[in-house]
Amino acid sequence: MKIIDFSLYLVTDQHLCLGRSILDVVMDAVAGGVSIVQIREKNSDARNFFQLAGAIKKKLEGTGVPLIINDRVDVALAVGADGVHVGQSDLPCSVVREMIGPDKILGVSINTLEQIHEAKNDAVDYLSLSPVFPTPTKTDTTEPFGIEGLKKARQLTERPLITIGGIDKDNLGEIISSGMNGAAVVSAICSAASPKAAAMELASIILESRR
């Protein structure tokens, strides 16, 4: 059984990095307490995605922080990433699991409570409820879950649950208290003046919420 710390899950977005290198933002965030990193670059071509993923994978070696690739199973396999995250319109989880093998991390986006039931037989390591609040970085989703939706989701499964969408330091504590194993953030770290300081503050909130 995989032991994975989903608590502070960073999802990258080059356009939100204020002109800074994604590599620098990621490593600053990891120094601040990010526990897992997903590269999500929807507008990047395969070669650039591969080069970026390879560079981040190399930098993360020895940190204990897993690297997840969004959507692109080919890129994940090419760079030896620790896992893949897929959405409802991507390859089926069963197919992705066959491609990456039993030891890699596999996560799937969940946009409705019904999809939690549909995923019960999928060989995935975590479910990502999306979005919890309205957000400009997640435009291809259904109605937001809200805190009450997160609580209902927690009652439906014992699998690790994270959530994404509109999360910041002001609502993070309530999200973790609703039963989530972690929270995924984009702009709260990528657009912060100091990604390291932002990650430290968010990690502290998560720790305090679990007490």
Catalytic site positions: 40, 109, 138
Separation CA 135–CA 96 (nearest Å): 28
Residues 6+ apart with CB under 8 A from 183: 7, 8, 9, 162, 163, 164, 167, 172, 175, 176, 202, 206
